[in-house]
Structure 1
Amino acid sequence: MFAKIKKILNLGNRPKPDINLSGELYEQLKPFRLPFVLVQLFLLFGTLGYLILEDYDLMQAFFQASYTFTNTGFGSLNEDKFGTITILFTVLLMICGAGVVTFGVAFIMSVVNDGKLIALIKEQKMIYKIARLTNHYVICYHNDFTIELCRQFLKSHIPFVVVDNSPDFAEQAQKHKYPYYIVDDPHTQIAMLKSHLSSAKGIVSFSKNPADNITMIVSARLFEEELHRKPYYIIATANSQEEAQKLKKIGCDSVVSASELMAQRISAMAVRPDMENLLERFLYKRDTLLDLEEIIVPRYSWLVLKKLKEAHFRDVTNVSVVGLTQKDGKYITMPNGNTVVSSECKLLVIGSSESIRATKRLIVKKQKPREVDYV
């Protein structure tokens, strides 16, 4: 029966986060021990007292002690027949009950009003939600770039977690409707565990301080080595060309300069307004009629060392290969059918979003697909 209940509630398959806040929660709940211990001691004291002083069985004595101690009732068990000693004992129990309950409520309210316990409970809930994510991006540091990127990720249904250590970040995250966020220093190992970085696809570091971006990249690469997993795709911002070169040297895959991007976009709009509109319509949106994407050919792919025409991309998946970048960096524009596909090269293909997804599925197969044989 319990197994069925767990299956219905999906408790057995609930993903576990990389970090647990039970220790911190226990520290916050420690102050609750004293009021609960006092309540139990006085209930035990009252129950034993009534067992000795009156002709009660155990349940009657416990019932009498409970509603006397909590001052919630009187008169259920012939209290009018109490002797003097029992009356004095009852009065003492009432006074102790009023004092302990008042003290306990005040003590608990002070802990709750402190806000740390509520914040920990919310953070624990968020960590369990993040634990369900896979192939997500961890966006480090909250600023205007983060806000805009998160909007684009939400439109494109790309999962992400935002991490920042600002005191008011939780309010900002709720204001901008971030589905997943962590309040912590992004470069720390605790933040990496909370953001479920072990299952992430990549990292975006948006700090305006170059030192923060450097620390984030180094920390991510070290964390990656500890896990013995494939490299993260790391993107960072830079304010200068010199800064961009430093970031690439320490392991950043792509460096973005806001001023350089803006200049390129404005230049494109001024020189080729029609081309800029085409890019806006087809390349920067998800699930459009036309898409352009690079696909890496893995070493185990059936297509390795085959001629490009043997894949029959145009007939099978309705895409066209408009470029090929070899592993050594050499780029071939508009490769013909006799071009040999090398291991770990990149194919630049153009087609619909669904066609490109079908092409990816075709390329990653180890054995030559049957649909290609029938063309």
Structure 2
Amino acid sequence: MSATQNNGQNGMRARIRAKLRKKKYIILQRYLRGFYLSFVLILFVTLLGVVGFMLIEDYSLVEAFYMTVITLSTVGYTEVKPLTDTGRIFTSFLIIANLGTFAYAISNLTTYIIDGNLKRMIQEYSLQSNIDKLKGHVILCGFGRYGAEVVKHFKLHKVPFVIIEASAAVADKIQEKGDLLYLHGDATHDEVLEMAGIRQAKSLITTLPDDAENVYVSLTARQMNPSLRIISRALSQKSEAKLKLAGANEVITLEEMGGFFMATLIGKPDLVTFFRILSYETSASVSLEEIGFEHLPDDNSPLTIRQLNIRENSGASVIGLKTLSGDYIVNPSPETVLKRGMQLFVLGNHDQILKFQELWTKVKQQ
């Protein structure tokens, strides 16, 4: 690897580390803002006292600092030197100012500890650390009825994901579950998507209840990650074209999908049930998996389906293929040449699918 490539990779790693530090800094800043202000006010009152005593009473720096400390702390020690009338008036106002500052600091401390802000900050910091470790994950925007259904299937299939939810009440419910990665924020904001790891994500699903928000999320996500696969919910069919123009790869209109599903149940009920078992139920004896071909030998040594010997080596069966042009081929020919970017659909039981994945891992390493 050349020095230029090494420098490029080192620069990218440095930028990633800087972004991760910034994400965690935002969390700390959100909760410690009151402490920052309290510290600034205390520092201001202290400096005011030091400067005032030096100018009014002609104290030295050490004497002025000492007098300020015993005045603000109200310990009642003897004055460094007898105060003039002007010095007494200044000291009185300094004590009054300190009472307000001290009350504000105590209020922040009470809120931070008793109201649970300390616990929430630790939880958010821990969540963000776990989110930062994700790569190739899915970002789910919205945890409503449809988002909750998506999460159920993600958990069944062990798909890594993070939820973005704007509602504080819903975010509290997610927190109560205890096993979900989430962010409490607005998915239409760039910084929230950044905290969710948009640049390392594989896909994004937006199920927000407003089509305009889904359009904005799709547009923003596409700009931040051009290779991201975006799936959006649409309340109205009129929004489908706008969502695709904004960058969504797939737009799901719930009425259309529900109507199609119900109509299919009338004509082919057993086929629908079988497909649901293949797609969703991890406890089923058979499974339908989609395998992507991102790493293949060069063009001088083309690889065909027959050469993989999938049936002989794993027991699984190839039932479909998605070509580079987006066409779907059912039961493709064994002589089909596999190319980078194709998708293969494999049917088999759990052990057979695992054997095929091991087989494909060995092919990639060759």
TM-score by length of 2: 0.69
Is this contact kept in 2: 1:295–1:346, CA < 8 A? yes
Q: 1:15 to 1:254 in 2, by over 3 A?
A: same
- Structure 2, gaps ≥5 residues long: 1-16, 54-58, 84-88
Taking the aligned partners of 2:75 and 2:158, their CA distance within structure 1 comes to 55
Q: Residue 327 of structure 1 aligns to which amino acid in structure 2?
A: L
In our comparison, the structure showing a higher alpha carbon Rg is: 1
Instruction: Give the corresponding residue for 1:340.
Output: 337
SS at match of 1:105: helix
Give the drift of 1:117.
Answer: 12
- Relative to total residues, which structure has the larger helix share, 1 or 2? 2
Q: Residue 221 of structure 2 aligns to which amino acid in structure 1?
A: A
Q: Residue 289 of structure 2 aligns to which amino acid in structure 1?
A: E
Taking the aligned partners of 2:164 and 2:220, their CA distance within structure 1 comes to 14
Instruction: Give the corresponding residue for 1:296.
Output: 292
SS at match of 1:247: helix
Q: Residue 303 of structure 2 aligns to which amino acid in structure 1?
A: K
Instruction: Give the corresponding residue for 2:20.
Output: 16
Instruction: Give the corresponding residue for 1:157.
Output: 158
Instruction: Give the corresponding residue for 1:182.
Output: 184
Q: 1:155 to 1:337 in 2, by over 3 A?
A: closer
Give the drift of 1:292.
Answer: 0.8
> Which of 264, 268, 274 does residue 270 from structure 2 map onto?
274
Instruction: Give the corresponding residue for 2:322.
Output: 325
Determine if the alignment matches structure 1 residue 137 to structure 2 residue 138: yes
Taking the aligned partners of 1:103 and 1:17, their CA distance within structure 2 comes to 34
Identity %: 20
Give the drift of 1:255.
Answer: 1.6
Give the drift of 1:355.
Answer: 3.6
Counting only pairs closer than 5 Å after superposition, residues 1-375 of structure 1 correspond to structure 2 as 16-17=20-21, 19=23, 20-21=25-26, 24-25=29-30, 28=34, 29-36=36-43, 38=45, 70=73, 102-111=99-108, 118=117, 121=121, 125=125, 126-165=127-166, 169-177=167-175, 178-184=180-186, 186-225=187-226, 231-286=227-282, 288-298=284-294, 300-301=296-297, 305-353=302-350, 355-363=352-360
Q: Deviations over 1:151-207 (max 9, x none)?
A: 333343333222244xxx1221121345312312x2332122122212211111113
Taking the aligned partners of 1:278 and 1:15, their CA distance within structure 2 comes to 45
Is this contact kept in 2: 1:138–1:197, CA < 8 A? yes
Aligned length in residues: 335
Is this contact kept in 2: 1:137–1:160, CA < 8 A? yes
Is this contact kept in 2: 1:322–1:350, CA < 8 A? yes
Is this contact kept in 2: 1:302–1:365, CA < 8 A? no
Between stretches 302-311 and 146-155, larger displacement belongs to 302-311
Give the drift of 1:223.
Answer: 1.1
Give the drift of 1:272.
Answer: 3.5
Q: Residue 349 of structure 2 aligns to which amino acid in structure 1?
A: S
Give the drift of 1:322.
Answer: 1.0
Between stretches 198-207 and 113-122, larger displacement belongs to 113-122
Is this contact kept in 2: 1:18–1:131, CA < 8 A? no
Q: Residue 180 of structure 1 aligns to which amino acid in structure 2?
A: Y
Q: Residue 276 of structure 1 aligns to which amino acid in structure 2?
A: V
Taking the aligned partners of 1:105 and 1:293, their CA distance within structure 2 comes to 63
- Structure 1, gaps ≥5 residues long: 1-12, 47-51, 53-57, 87-91, 226-230, 370-375
Q: 1:247 to 1:355 in 2, by over 3 A?
A: farther
SS at match of 2:346: strand
Taking the aligned partners of 2:231 and 2:26, their CA distance within structure 1 comes to 30
Is this contact kept in 2: 1:163–1:181, CA < 8 A? yes
Is this contact kept in 2: 1:299–1:343, CA < 8 A? yes
Taking the aligned partners of 2:163 and 2:277, their CA distance within structure 1 comes to 28
Is this contact kept in 2: 1:213–1:236, CA < 8 A? yes
Q: Residue 270 of structure 1 aligns to which amino acid in structure 2?
A: I
TM-score by length of 1: 0.68
Give the drift of 1:24.
Answer: 4.5
Q: 1:14 to 1:150 in 2, by over 3 A?
A: farther
Q: Deviations over 1:101-144 (max 9, x none)?
A: 64343112455688899499469624334222222222223432
- CA RMSD in angstroms comes to 4.8
Is this contact kept in 1: 2:45–2:94, CA < 8 A? no
Between stretches 108-117 and 269-278, larger displacement belongs to 108-117
Is this contact kept in 2: 1:297–1:364, CA < 8 A? no
